[in-house]
Amino acid sequence: MLEILIAGGWAMVPILLCSAVALAIILERFWSLRRKSVVPPELGEQVLAWARTRKLDPGHIETLRANSPLGEILAAALSVRNRSRDIIKERVEDTGRHVVHRLERFLNTLGTIALISPLLGLLGTVFGLIEMFFAVMVSGVGDPLKMAGGIGQALVCTATGLCVAIPAYFFHRYFRGRVADYVVDMEEQTIRLIDELSAHAEPAAVSAATPARAAAKAH
């Protein structure tokens, strides 16, 4: 195997570096994008119970914010729970953009590796063919070993570039799909919480407005 890699020439160096970076990103994303660490089960129901029983002290909210990406979004809604529904949604959307950006961390790099690895392989192929043609110019077609070396370098670079690009592209699309699924789940949980907070806020607003109307009529 080592001899085959050496036969690929200098173009194998960036391809192998890309493969190492891609492998590190794939392992890191598998660990970071586990469902229980992004969208913990029962967290949404627990927060809804807090909202119903009004157990929403600052300690609860800070613990929730540090719990998970879902917890961070729900905590953003709870931190402005006494404001209007539009303001709550705006705060959730702002926080959600930052959360999604973190969930997609390194995926652009993985996609770039999937794109450039075949190009690096093609570059190595071109240099291998150039080397072969120079060997033919110097010694003619009577030295098949030199021609075989150039063709071998071309084939090794192409194959290695594809072997790096195909898994990188597959996992790039896979992690993108996983993040999209998580976003849908978090949106569903957040909408339920906003509805719960709005249901509690509306009666309070009505009861606060009634004495004001009575005082206005008295004047």
pLDDT given at position 208:
42
pLDDT digits (tens, 9 = 90+) for 61-72: 888 888 899 999
High-pLDDT (> 90) share of the chain, %:
42
Q: Are 61 and 78 in contact (CB under 8 A)?
A: yes
Residue 12 pLDDT grade (very low, low, confident, very high; cuts 50, 70, 90):
confident
> What does the radius of gyration of the chain's CA atoms come to, in whole angstroms?
29
pTM, whole model, 2 decimals?
0.79
Residue 197 pLDDT grade (very low, low, confident, very high; cuts 50, 70, 90):
confident
For the segment 165-187, the average pLDDT, to the nearest whole number, is 95
pLDDT higher at 60 or 87: 87
pLDDT higher at 204 or 151: 151
C-alpha–C-alpha distance, residues 58 and 117, integer Å: 49
Report how far apart, in Å, the C-alpha atoms of 39 and of each of 33, 60, 138 are: 9, 18, 65
pLDDT given at position 100:
94
pLDDT given at position 204:
45
pLDDT digits (tens, 9 = 90+) for 30-53: 999 999 999 998 888 888 887 777
The first and second tokens of residue 30, run together, are: 């598998």
Residue 211 has pLDDT above 50, yes or no: no
Residue 216 has pLDDT above 50, yes or no: no
Residue 217 has pLDDT above 80, yes or no: no
- Tell me the H-state helices in the chain: 2-7, 12-32, 35-38, 43-53, 58-65, 69-79, 85-103, 107-139, 144-218
